Structure 1
Amino acid sequence: MSEQPQVFSNRWADAAAPGDRDASHDQCDCLPRSRRAPARPVGFHSERQDTTAPGWLRLLDLVEEAAADGREVFQPLTELTAQERRQVVTLPPTVAKLTAVKHLGLYGSNLVRLPPEVGAMTSLEEFTPYTSYRLHWFPYELTRCRGLRRSTVSTRAVYGNFKYRPPFPALSAGPGGATGLDLGDLDPRVSGATAIRTCSVCDRGFDGAGLRQVWISGRVGADVLPLLVNACSAACVAALPAPAGGYVPAPHTGGPGLVQPDAC
Protein backbone atom coordinates (compact mmCIF):
# COMPACT_ATOMS: atom_id res chain seq x y z
CA MET A 1 0.00 0.00 0.00
CA SER A 2 1.52 3.27 -1.07
CA GLU A 3 1.96 6.05 1.45
CA GLN A 4 -0.26 9.07 1.20
CA PRO A 5 1.60 12.25 0.17
CA GLN A 6 2.15 14.67 3.01
CA VAL A 7 0.15 17.86 2.73
CA PHE A 8 1.62 21.07 4.11
CA SER A 9 -0.54 23.99 5.10
CA ASN A 10 0.01 27.39 3.51
CA ARG A 11 0.75 29.65 6.48
CA TRP A 12 0.49 32.72 4.23
CA ALA A 13 -2.91 31.92 2.74
CA ASP A 14 -4.65 34.74 4.59
CA ALA A 15 -1.76 37.19 4.18
CA ALA A 16 -1.18 37.00 0.45
CA ALA A 17 -3.02 39.66 -1.53
CA PRO A 18 -4.97 38.69 -4.65
CA GLY A 19 -3.78 39.35 -8.18
CA ASP A 20 -0.61 39.06 -10.23
CA ARG A 21 2.52 39.54 -8.12
CA ASP A 22 4.40 41.13 -11.03
CA ALA A 23 1.63 43.71 -11.40
CA SER A 24 1.92 44.69 -7.73
CA HIS A 25 5.69 45.07 -7.47
CA ASP A 26 8.52 47.06 -8.96
CA GLN A 27 11.77 45.24 -9.60
CA CYS A 28 14.72 45.85 -7.29
CA ASP A 29 18.37 44.99 -7.91
CA CYS A 30 19.84 47.10 -5.10
CA LEU A 31 21.62 44.23 -3.38
CA PRO A 32 23.73 41.36 -4.67
CA ARG A 33 22.03 38.02 -4.22
CA SER A 34 25.04 35.96 -3.13
CA ARG A 35 28.31 36.33 -1.26
CA ARG A 36 30.17 35.71 -4.52
CA ALA A 37 28.73 38.77 -6.23
CA PRO A 38 31.14 41.71 -6.54
CA ALA A 39 30.67 44.37 -3.88
CA ARG A 40 29.27 47.69 -5.05
CA PRO A 41 27.99 50.80 -3.27
CA VAL A 42 24.32 50.80 -2.40
CA GLY A 43 21.88 53.63 -1.75
CA PHE A 44 18.41 54.24 -0.43
CA HIS A 45 15.43 53.98 -2.74
CA SER A 46 14.55 57.37 -4.14
CA GLU A 47 10.80 56.91 -4.62
CA ARG A 48 8.48 59.42 -2.99
CA GLN A 49 4.98 58.40 -2.04
CA ASP A 50 2.35 59.66 -4.46
CA THR A 51 -0.27 60.91 -2.00
CA THR A 52 -2.86 61.26 -4.75
CA ALA A 53 -2.69 57.61 -5.83
CA PRO A 54 -5.85 55.51 -5.30
CA GLY A 55 -3.86 52.88 -3.40
CA TRP A 56 -2.56 55.45 -0.94
CA LEU A 57 -5.99 57.00 -0.40
CA ARG A 58 -7.50 53.57 0.19
CA LEU A 59 -4.73 52.78 2.67
CA LEU A 60 -5.48 55.97 4.61
CA ASP A 61 -9.10 54.84 4.90
CA LEU A 62 -8.07 51.37 6.05
CA VAL A 63 -5.89 52.83 8.80
CA GLU A 64 -8.78 54.97 10.04
CA GLU A 65 -11.13 51.97 9.99
CA ALA A 66 -8.66 49.86 11.96
CA ALA A 67 -8.12 52.64 14.50
CA ALA A 68 -11.87 53.09 14.94
CA ASP A 69 -12.74 49.44 15.48
CA GLY A 70 -9.68 48.60 17.59
CA ARG A 71 -8.76 45.54 15.57
CA GLU A 72 -5.77 43.45 16.65
CA VAL A 73 -4.73 42.20 13.20
CA PHE A 74 -3.97 44.69 10.44
CA GLN A 75 -3.19 43.32 6.96
CA PRO A 76 -4.17 46.23 4.71
CA LEU A 77 -2.59 44.96 1.50
CA THR A 78 -5.07 42.10 1.27
CA GLU A 79 -7.76 44.73 0.66
CA LEU A 80 -5.97 46.49 -2.20
CA THR A 81 -5.81 45.51 -5.85
CA ALA A 82 -2.45 44.59 -7.38
CA GLN A 83 -2.23 48.00 -9.03
CA GLU A 84 -3.04 49.76 -5.74
CA ARG A 85 -0.42 47.78 -3.85
CA ARG A 86 2.19 48.86 -6.35
CA GLN A 87 1.33 52.50 -5.63
CA VAL A 88 2.19 52.18 -1.91
CA VAL A 89 5.90 52.60 -1.08
CA THR A 90 5.54 53.49 2.60
CA LEU A 91 2.92 53.54 5.35
CA PRO A 92 1.23 56.74 6.50
CA PRO A 93 2.25 58.37 9.80
CA THR A 94 -1.32 57.74 10.97
CA VAL A 95 -0.36 54.13 11.78
CA ALA A 96 0.55 55.68 15.15
CA LYS A 97 -3.20 55.44 15.89
CA LEU A 98 -3.12 51.64 15.70
CA THR A 99 -2.31 51.10 19.35
CA ALA A 100 -4.51 47.99 19.60
CA VAL A 101 -2.89 46.14 16.68
CA LYS A 102 -0.95 43.06 17.76
CA HIS A 103 -0.11 41.72 14.29
CA LEU A 104 1.02 43.92 11.42
CA GLY A 105 1.02 41.93 8.19
CA LEU A 106 2.75 43.39 5.13
CA TYR A 107 3.34 40.19 3.17
CA GLY A 108 4.52 40.79 -0.40
CA SER A 109 4.50 44.57 -0.22
CA ASN A 110 6.11 47.09 -2.58
CA LEU A 111 7.35 49.15 0.39
CA VAL A 112 10.77 50.79 0.34
CA ARG A 113 10.60 52.35 3.82
CA LEU A 114 8.52 52.44 6.98
CA PRO A 115 7.71 55.62 8.90
CA PRO A 116 9.08 56.02 12.43
CA GLU A 117 5.48 56.20 13.66
CA VAL A 118 5.35 52.40 13.62
CA GLY A 119 7.07 52.69 16.98
CA ALA A 120 3.80 54.03 18.42
CA MET A 121 2.10 50.67 17.74
CA THR A 122 2.85 49.68 21.31
CA SER A 123 0.67 46.53 21.38
CA LEU A 124 2.54 44.99 18.45
CA GLU A 125 3.54 41.37 19.05
CA GLU A 126 3.99 40.05 15.52
CA PHE A 127 5.46 41.73 12.42
CA THR A 128 5.44 40.00 9.03
CA PRO A 129 6.79 41.97 6.06
CA TYR A 130 7.83 38.66 4.48
CA THR A 131 8.70 38.77 0.74
CA SER A 132 8.83 42.58 0.82
CA TYR A 133 12.02 42.45 -1.19
CA ARG A 134 12.44 46.21 -1.59
CA LEU A 135 12.40 46.81 2.16
CA HIS A 136 16.13 46.81 3.00
CA TRP A 137 16.12 48.55 6.40
CA PHE A 138 13.84 49.56 9.27
CA PRO A 139 13.44 52.60 11.53
CA TYR A 140 15.05 52.35 14.96
CA GLU A 141 11.70 53.40 16.45
CA LEU A 142 10.45 49.86 15.83
CA THR A 143 12.37 48.87 18.98
CA ARG A 144 9.80 50.83 21.02
CA CYS A 145 7.36 47.98 20.43
CA ARG A 146 8.50 46.17 23.57
CA GLY A 147 6.10 43.27 23.18
CA LEU A 148 7.21 42.40 19.66
CA ARG A 149 8.45 38.81 19.80
CA ARG A 150 7.53 37.24 16.46
CA SER A 151 8.68 38.42 13.06
CA THR A 152 9.11 37.03 9.58
CA VAL A 153 11.44 39.08 7.39
CA SER A 154 13.13 38.18 4.10
CA THR A 155 16.55 38.76 5.61
CA ARG A 156 18.43 38.20 2.35
CA ALA A 157 16.92 41.50 1.21
CA VAL A 158 18.27 43.61 4.10
CA TYR A 159 21.54 45.51 4.44
CA GLY A 160 24.32 43.72 6.33
CA ASN A 161 22.46 40.42 6.59
CA PHE A 162 24.51 37.58 8.06
CA LYS A 163 24.07 35.34 5.01
CA TYR A 164 26.28 37.38 2.67
CA ARG A 165 26.89 40.80 4.28
CA PRO A 166 25.75 43.23 1.59
CA PRO A 167 26.89 46.82 2.29
CA PHE A 168 24.97 49.62 3.99
CA PRO A 169 24.32 52.98 2.29
CA ALA A 170 26.77 55.66 3.35
CA LEU A 171 25.21 58.24 5.66
CA SER A 172 26.23 61.83 5.00
CA ALA A 173 24.76 63.14 8.28
CA GLY A 174 27.17 61.25 10.53
CA PRO A 175 27.78 61.34 14.30
CA GLY A 176 29.25 64.84 14.05
CA GLY A 177 25.87 66.22 12.98
CA ALA A 178 24.65 67.93 9.83
CA THR A 179 23.18 71.41 10.16
CA GLY A 180 21.32 73.58 7.67
CA LEU A 181 19.11 70.74 6.45
CA ASP A 182 15.42 71.26 5.84
CA LEU A 183 14.24 68.26 7.85
CA GLY A 184 10.75 68.69 6.46
CA ASP A 185 11.88 68.27 2.85
CA LEU A 186 14.68 65.74 2.45
CA ASP A 187 15.95 63.72 -0.48
CA PRO A 188 15.05 60.11 0.37
CA ARG A 189 17.94 58.87 -1.75
CA VAL A 190 20.32 60.64 0.65
CA SER A 191 18.52 60.52 4.00
CA GLY A 192 16.24 57.51 3.68
CA ALA A 193 13.13 59.64 4.24
CA THR A 194 11.39 62.72 2.90
CA ALA A 195 11.06 64.21 6.39
CA ILE A 196 12.53 63.62 9.86
CA ARG A 197 10.58 65.20 12.70
CA THR A 198 11.78 63.71 15.98
CA CYS A 199 14.83 61.99 17.43
CA SER A 200 14.75 58.20 17.18
CA VAL A 201 16.21 57.90 20.69
CA CYS A 202 14.68 60.61 22.91
CA ASP A 203 11.62 61.38 20.71
CA ARG A 204 12.16 65.15 21.01
CA GLY A 205 12.10 67.57 18.09
CA PHE A 206 15.38 68.75 16.65
CA ASP A 207 14.81 72.45 17.38
CA GLY A 208 17.87 73.51 15.42
CA ALA A 209 20.04 70.60 16.57
CA GLY A 210 22.11 68.93 13.87
CA LEU A 211 20.88 65.63 12.47
CA ARG A 212 23.06 62.64 13.30
CA GLN A 213 22.40 59.40 11.42
CA VAL A 214 23.89 56.02 12.26
CA TRP A 215 23.20 52.39 11.51
CA ILE A 216 22.87 49.76 14.21
CA SER A 217 22.01 46.08 13.84
CA GLY A 218 19.49 45.14 16.52
CA ARG A 219 17.11 42.34 17.31
CA VAL A 220 13.47 43.00 16.47
CA GLY A 221 11.20 40.06 17.13
CA ALA A 222 12.94 36.94 15.85
CA ASP A 223 15.29 38.77 13.48
CA VAL A 224 18.35 41.00 13.61
CA LEU A 225 17.58 43.97 11.38
CA PRO A 226 19.50 47.00 10.08
CA LEU A 227 18.01 49.95 11.97
CA LEU A 228 18.43 53.59 10.93
CA VAL A 229 18.83 56.00 13.83
CA ASN A 230 18.06 59.71 13.40
CA ALA A 231 19.55 61.28 16.52
CA CYS A 232 19.48 64.87 17.77
CA SER A 233 22.71 64.76 19.77
CA ALA A 234 25.91 62.88 20.41
CA ALA A 235 24.44 61.92 23.78
CA CYS A 236 21.55 60.14 22.06
CA VAL A 237 23.97 58.23 19.83
CA ALA A 238 25.97 57.26 22.91
CA ALA A 239 22.78 56.03 24.61
CA LEU A 240 22.14 53.40 21.94
CA PRO A 241 22.32 49.78 23.12
CA ALA A 242 25.07 47.43 22.03
CA PRO A 243 24.42 45.93 18.59
CA ALA A 244 23.50 42.28 18.25
CA GLY A 245 26.37 39.82 18.49
CA GLY A 246 27.92 38.76 15.19
CA TYR A 247 27.28 42.12 13.51
CA VAL A 248 29.23 45.38 13.29
CA PRO A 249 29.97 45.94 17.00
CA ALA A 250 29.20 49.67 17.17
CA PRO A 251 26.91 52.23 15.52
CA HIS A 252 28.34 53.21 12.13
CA THR A 253 27.73 55.30 9.04
CA GLY A 254 27.91 52.53 6.45
CA GLY A 255 29.56 52.94 3.08
CA PRO A 256 31.72 50.62 0.96
CA GLY A 257 34.67 50.85 3.37
CA LEU A 258 32.73 49.38 6.30
CA VAL A 259 34.28 46.14 7.58
CA GLN A 260 31.66 43.57 8.54
CA PRO A 261 32.08 40.14 10.14
CA ASP A 262 32.37 37.23 7.74
CA ALA A 263 29.16 35.87 6.27
CA CYS A 264 27.79 32.67 7.78
Structure 2
Amino acid sequence: MTDESLPAQVFPNRFPEAVDSRPGVPQDHCRCLSQGRVSPPGAVTSFHAEIQDTGAPGWLRLLELIEEAAADGREEFRPLPELSPQERRQIVTLPASIGRLTEVRTLVLYGSNLVRIPPEIGDMTSLEEFSPYTSRRLHWFPYEITRCARLVDSTVSTRSVYGNYKYRPPFPRLLPPDGRMLDLEGLPPARWGTTTARTCSVCTGPVPATGPHQAWISRMVATDVLPLLVNACSQECLDTLPPGAEGYIDAPHRGGAIDQPPPR
Protein backbone atom coordinates (compact mmCIF):
# COMPACT_ATOMS: atom_id res chain seq x y z
CA MET A 1 0.00 0.00 0.00
CA THR A 2 1.37 3.37 -0.91
CA ASP A 3 0.45 6.69 0.65
CA GLU A 4 0.74 9.53 -1.82
CA SER A 5 0.68 12.04 1.03
CA LEU A 6 3.94 10.74 2.49
CA PRO A 7 7.31 11.76 1.04
CA ALA A 8 9.22 9.14 -0.90
CA GLN A 9 11.99 7.48 1.07
CA VAL A 10 14.87 5.35 -0.06
CA PHE A 11 17.21 3.09 1.82
CA PRO A 12 20.47 1.51 0.72
CA ASN A 13 20.69 -2.06 -0.44
CA ARG A 14 22.41 -3.91 2.42
CA PHE A 15 23.68 -6.56 0.01
CA PRO A 16 25.34 -4.55 -2.78
CA GLU A 17 27.65 -7.41 -3.62
CA ALA A 18 24.60 -9.35 -4.81
CA VAL A 19 24.02 -6.74 -7.51
CA ASP A 20 27.44 -5.39 -8.37
CA SER A 21 30.45 -3.78 -6.71
CA ARG A 22 28.94 -0.33 -6.30
CA PRO A 23 27.64 0.34 -2.76
CA GLY A 24 24.48 2.14 -1.78
CA VAL A 25 22.13 1.10 -4.56
CA PRO A 26 18.83 2.71 -3.52
CA GLN A 27 15.42 1.12 -3.30
CA ASP A 28 12.12 2.84 -2.62
CA HIS A 29 10.87 2.37 0.93
CA CYS A 30 7.76 0.22 1.28
CA ARG A 31 5.14 0.63 4.02
CA CYS A 32 2.84 -2.16 2.86
CA LEU A 33 3.50 -4.61 5.66
CA SER A 34 5.66 -5.10 8.68
CA GLN A 35 8.69 -7.28 8.05
CA GLY A 36 9.64 -7.53 11.71
CA ARG A 37 6.50 -8.28 13.73
CA VAL A 38 3.30 -10.29 13.59
CA SER A 39 0.49 -8.46 11.80
CA PRO A 40 -2.07 -7.12 14.28
CA PRO A 41 -5.74 -8.13 14.10
CA GLY A 42 -7.65 -6.10 11.54
CA ALA A 43 -4.56 -5.17 9.52
CA VAL A 44 -5.20 -4.61 5.81
CA THR A 45 -2.96 -4.47 2.77
CA SER A 46 -3.39 -3.06 -0.70
CA PHE A 47 -1.64 -3.59 -4.00
CA HIS A 48 1.09 -1.24 -5.12
CA ALA A 49 -0.44 1.28 -7.50
CA GLU A 50 2.71 2.27 -9.41
CA ILE A 51 2.48 2.22 -13.20
CA GLN A 52 5.62 1.45 -15.16
CA ASP A 53 6.99 4.48 -17.03
CA THR A 54 7.70 2.90 -20.41
CA GLY A 55 9.61 5.98 -21.52
CA ALA A 56 12.09 5.88 -18.65
CA PRO A 57 15.74 5.28 -19.60
CA GLY A 58 15.95 2.29 -17.28
CA TRP A 59 12.96 0.63 -18.94
CA LEU A 60 14.31 1.24 -22.44
CA ARG A 61 17.70 -0.15 -21.46
CA LEU A 62 16.04 -3.23 -19.92
CA LEU A 63 14.20 -3.86 -23.19
CA GLU A 64 17.55 -3.76 -24.99
CA LEU A 65 19.12 -6.16 -22.50
CA ILE A 66 16.28 -8.65 -22.97
CA GLU A 67 16.67 -8.46 -26.74
CA GLU A 68 20.41 -9.09 -26.41
CA ALA A 69 19.83 -12.06 -24.11
CA ALA A 70 17.20 -13.55 -26.40
CA ALA A 71 19.50 -13.16 -29.40
CA ASP A 72 22.58 -14.76 -27.89
CA GLY A 73 20.74 -17.53 -26.04
CA ARG A 74 22.49 -16.93 -22.73
CA GLU A 75 21.66 -19.14 -19.78
CA GLU A 76 21.99 -16.50 -17.04
CA PHE A 77 20.19 -13.16 -17.07
CA ARG A 78 21.36 -10.63 -14.50
CA PRO A 79 20.20 -7.23 -15.81
CA LEU A 80 20.47 -4.91 -12.81
CA PRO A 81 24.26 -4.45 -12.83
CA GLU A 82 23.86 -3.10 -16.38
CA LEU A 83 21.69 -0.23 -15.08
CA SER A 84 22.62 2.83 -13.07
CA PRO A 85 21.13 3.12 -9.56
CA GLN A 86 18.56 5.64 -10.80
CA GLU A 87 17.63 3.43 -13.74
CA ARG A 88 17.08 0.50 -11.39
CA ARG A 89 14.63 2.54 -9.36
CA GLN A 90 12.66 3.19 -12.54
CA ILE A 91 11.88 -0.51 -13.01
CA VAL A 92 8.71 -1.54 -11.11
CA THR A 93 7.87 -4.54 -13.29
CA LEU A 94 9.48 -6.59 -16.02
CA PRO A 95 8.51 -6.37 -19.69
CA ALA A 96 6.30 -9.07 -21.18
CA SER A 97 9.23 -9.82 -23.49
CA ILE A 98 10.88 -11.59 -20.53
CA GLY A 99 8.98 -14.61 -21.82
CA ARG A 100 11.30 -14.72 -24.84
CA LEU A 101 14.20 -15.80 -22.66
CA THR A 102 13.51 -19.49 -23.13
CA GLU A 103 17.19 -20.46 -22.81
CA VAL A 104 17.75 -18.67 -19.51
CA ARG A 105 18.30 -21.02 -16.58
CA THR A 106 19.16 -18.43 -13.93
CA LEU A 107 17.28 -15.15 -13.41
CA VAL A 108 18.88 -12.83 -10.84
CA LEU A 109 16.97 -9.75 -9.63
CA TYR A 110 18.71 -9.10 -6.30
CA GLY A 111 17.83 -5.76 -4.70
CA SER A 112 15.31 -4.73 -7.35
CA ASN A 113 12.65 -2.05 -7.00
CA LEU A 114 10.01 -4.36 -8.48
CA VAL A 115 6.42 -4.40 -7.22
CA ARG A 116 5.16 -7.09 -9.64
CA ILE A 117 6.33 -9.80 -12.03
CA PRO A 118 4.43 -10.30 -15.32
CA PRO A 119 2.72 -13.61 -16.08
CA GLU A 120 5.04 -14.09 -19.06
CA ILE A 121 7.66 -15.43 -16.64
CA GLY A 122 5.80 -18.69 -17.10
CA ASP A 123 7.15 -18.82 -20.67
CA MET A 124 10.74 -19.09 -19.40
CA THR A 125 10.64 -22.84 -19.88
CA SER A 126 14.33 -23.46 -19.05
CA LEU A 127 14.30 -21.48 -15.80
CA GLU A 128 15.94 -23.41 -12.96
CA GLU A 129 16.98 -20.70 -10.50
CA PHE A 130 15.01 -17.56 -9.60
CA SER A 131 16.64 -15.04 -7.24
CA PRO A 132 14.76 -11.80 -6.45
CA TYR A 133 16.27 -11.67 -2.95
CA THR A 134 16.06 -8.33 -1.08
CA SER A 135 13.37 -7.10 -3.50
CA ARG A 136 11.36 -5.98 -0.50
CA ARG A 137 8.50 -4.41 -2.44
CA LEU A 138 7.73 -7.67 -4.19
CA HIS A 139 4.88 -9.14 -2.11
CA TRP A 140 3.34 -11.68 -4.50
CA PHE A 141 4.00 -13.60 -7.71
CA PRO A 142 1.90 -14.62 -10.72
CA TYR A 143 0.46 -18.13 -10.71
CA GLU A 144 2.00 -18.60 -14.14
CA ILE A 145 5.40 -19.11 -12.51
CA THR A 146 4.21 -22.64 -11.70
CA ARG A 147 4.57 -23.40 -15.44
CA CYS A 148 8.35 -23.21 -15.05
CA ALA A 149 8.60 -26.97 -14.64
CA ARG A 150 12.40 -26.97 -14.27
CA LEU A 151 12.48 -24.37 -11.50
CA VAL A 152 14.17 -26.03 -8.51
CA ASP A 153 15.94 -23.22 -6.66
CA SER A 154 14.64 -19.87 -5.43
CA THR A 155 15.96 -17.12 -3.18
CA VAL A 156 13.10 -14.88 -2.09
CA SER A 157 12.80 -12.43 0.80
CA THR A 158 9.85 -14.34 2.22
CA ARG A 159 9.33 -11.89 5.09
CA SER A 160 8.21 -9.44 2.41
CA VAL A 161 5.41 -11.60 0.98
CA TYR A 162 1.75 -11.84 1.89
CA GLY A 163 0.81 -14.63 4.27
CA ASN A 164 4.39 -15.55 5.18
CA TYR A 165 4.62 -18.01 8.05
CA LYS A 166 6.62 -15.72 10.35
CA TYR A 167 4.25 -12.73 10.47
CA ARG A 168 1.11 -13.70 8.49
CA PRO A 169 0.51 -10.29 6.87
CA PRO A 170 -2.93 -10.19 5.24
CA PHE A 171 -3.56 -10.54 1.54
CA PRO A 172 -5.18 -7.66 -0.38
CA ARG A 173 -8.87 -8.27 -0.82
CA LEU A 174 -9.84 -9.45 -4.30
CA LEU A 175 -13.18 -8.40 -5.76
CA PRO A 176 -15.18 -10.32 -8.38
CA PRO A 177 -15.77 -8.74 -11.81
CA ASP A 178 -18.66 -6.29 -11.72
CA GLY A 179 -19.81 -6.78 -15.32
CA ARG A 180 -18.22 -3.66 -16.78
CA MET A 181 -16.13 -3.92 -19.93
CA LEU A 182 -12.43 -3.39 -19.23
CA ASP A 183 -9.22 -2.66 -21.06
CA LEU A 184 -7.35 -5.87 -20.30
CA GLU A 185 -4.11 -4.26 -21.47
CA GLY A 186 -4.45 -1.34 -19.06
CA LEU A 187 -5.94 -2.54 -15.79
CA PRO A 188 -5.47 -0.32 -12.72
CA PRO A 189 -3.05 -2.26 -10.51
CA ALA A 190 -4.44 -0.75 -7.31
CA ARG A 191 -7.63 -2.72 -8.06
CA TRP A 192 -6.37 -5.81 -9.87
CA GLY A 193 -2.76 -6.13 -8.74
CA THR A 194 -1.70 -6.53 -12.35
CA THR A 195 -1.90 -4.19 -15.34
CA THR A 196 -2.65 -6.87 -17.93
CA ALA A 197 -4.74 -10.04 -17.90
CA ARG A 198 -5.04 -11.40 -21.40
CA THR A 199 -5.00 -15.14 -20.82
CA CYS A 200 -6.21 -17.40 -18.05
CA SER A 201 -3.60 -18.38 -15.47
CA VAL A 202 -5.09 -21.87 -15.36
CA CYS A 203 -6.17 -22.94 -18.86
CA THR A 204 -4.41 -20.23 -20.96
CA GLY A 205 -7.71 -19.38 -22.66
CA PRO A 206 -8.81 -15.76 -23.15
CA VAL A 207 -9.94 -13.72 -20.17
CA PRO A 208 -13.41 -12.19 -20.74
CA ALA A 209 -13.65 -8.46 -21.36
CA THR A 210 -15.28 -8.03 -17.94
CA GLY A 211 -12.01 -8.99 -16.30
CA PRO A 212 -10.43 -11.99 -14.61
CA HIS A 213 -11.81 -14.10 -11.81
CA GLN A 214 -9.12 -13.78 -9.17
CA ALA A 215 -7.90 -15.86 -6.28
CA TRP A 216 -4.92 -16.17 -3.96
CA ILE A 217 -3.15 -19.43 -3.34
CA SER A 218 0.08 -20.14 -1.45
CA ARG A 219 2.13 -22.88 -3.11
CA MET A 220 5.65 -24.22 -2.96
CA VAL A 221 7.64 -22.78 -5.86
CA ALA A 222 11.10 -24.32 -5.99
CA THR A 223 12.37 -23.86 -2.41
CA ASP A 224 9.90 -21.23 -1.11
CA VAL A 225 6.17 -21.07 -0.43
CA LEU A 226 4.97 -18.03 -2.37
CA PRO A 227 1.64 -16.18 -2.52
CA LEU A 228 0.39 -16.56 -6.08
CA LEU A 229 -2.21 -14.38 -7.77
CA VAL A 230 -4.49 -16.31 -10.13
CA ASN A 231 -6.21 -14.46 -12.96
CA ALA A 232 -8.68 -16.98 -14.35
CA CYS A 233 -11.18 -16.86 -17.18
CA SER A 234 -13.97 -18.33 -15.04
CA GLN A 235 -14.97 -19.64 -11.66
CA GLU A 236 -14.79 -23.11 -13.18
CA CYS A 237 -11.04 -22.67 -13.70
CA LEU A 238 -10.63 -21.42 -10.14
CA ASP A 239 -12.41 -24.56 -8.95
CA THR A 240 -9.68 -26.72 -10.50
CA LEU A 241 -6.85 -25.13 -8.50
CA PRO A 242 -4.87 -27.38 -6.16
CA PRO A 243 -4.95 -26.91 -2.37
CA GLY A 244 -2.65 -24.49 -0.63
CA ALA A 245 0.69 -25.51 0.85
CA GLU A 246 0.73 -27.28 4.21
CA GLY A 247 0.73 -24.74 7.04
CA TYR A 248 -0.93 -22.05 4.93
CA ILE A 249 -4.54 -21.29 3.98
CA ASP A 250 -5.62 -24.64 2.60
CA ALA A 251 -7.74 -23.48 -0.35
CA PRO A 252 -7.83 -20.67 -2.91
CA HIS A 253 -9.29 -17.51 -1.38
CA ARG A 254 -9.98 -13.82 -1.99
CA GLY A 255 -7.86 -12.41 0.82
CA GLY A 256 -9.05 -9.59 3.02
CA ALA A 257 -10.49 -10.57 6.40
CA ILE A 258 -9.67 -14.25 6.27
CA ASP A 259 -8.22 -16.37 9.06
CA GLN A 260 -4.69 -17.62 8.55
CA PRO A 261 -2.79 -20.28 10.52
CA PRO A 262 -0.87 -18.83 13.47
CA PRO A 263 2.68 -17.57 12.85
CA ARG A 264 5.52 -20.02 13.36
> Is it true that 1:202 corresponds to 2:210 in the alignment?
no
How many Å apart are 1:114 and its aligned residue? 0.4
Q: 1:217, 1:248 within 8 Å by CA — same for their partners in 2?
A: yes
**TM-score, length-normalised on structure 1?**
0.90
Distance 1:28 1:150, change over 3 A: same
Map of 1:213 onto structure 2: 214
Q: 1:25 aligns to what SS in structure 2?
A: strand
Match of 2:74 among 71, 76, 95: 71
Map of 2:125 onto structure 1: 122
Q: 2:190 aligns to what SS in structure 1?
A: helix
How many Å apart are 1:156 and its aligned residue? 0.2
Q: Deviations over 1:187-240 (max 9, x none)?
A: 111101122111100111124465210000011110000000000012210111
- Return the letter of the residue paired with 2:150: G
How many Å apart are 1:241 and its aligned residue? 1.3
The worse-fitting range, judged by mean Cα deviation, of 186-195 and 56-65 is: 186-195
Alignment of 1:1-264 (within 5 A): 15-21=18-24, 24-39=26-41, 40-173=43-176, 177-180=177-180, 181-208=182-209, 210-255=211-256, 257-264=257-264
Aligned residues: 248
2: CA distance, partners of 1:190 / 1:138: 16
- Return the letter of the residue paired with 2:44: P
- Identity value in percent: 58
Q: 2:184, 2:211 within 8 Å by CA — same for their partners in 1?
A: no
Aligned CA RMSD, in angstroms, stands at 1.6
- Return the letter of the residue paired with 2:34: P
How many Å apart are 1:36 and its aligned residue? 4.2
2: CA distance, partners of 1:217 / 1:51: 31
Structure 1 stretches of 5 or more lacking a match? 1-11
Distance 1:232 1:85, change over 3 A: same
Q: 2:151, 2:221 within 8 Å by CA — same for their partners in 1?
A: yes
Map of 1:7 onto structure 2: none
1: CA distance, partners of 2:251 / 2:62: 37
Distance 1:66 1:172, change over 3 A: same
Q: Deviations over 1:138-176 (max 9, x none)?
A: 000000000100000000000000011000000112xxx
Larger radius of gyration: 1
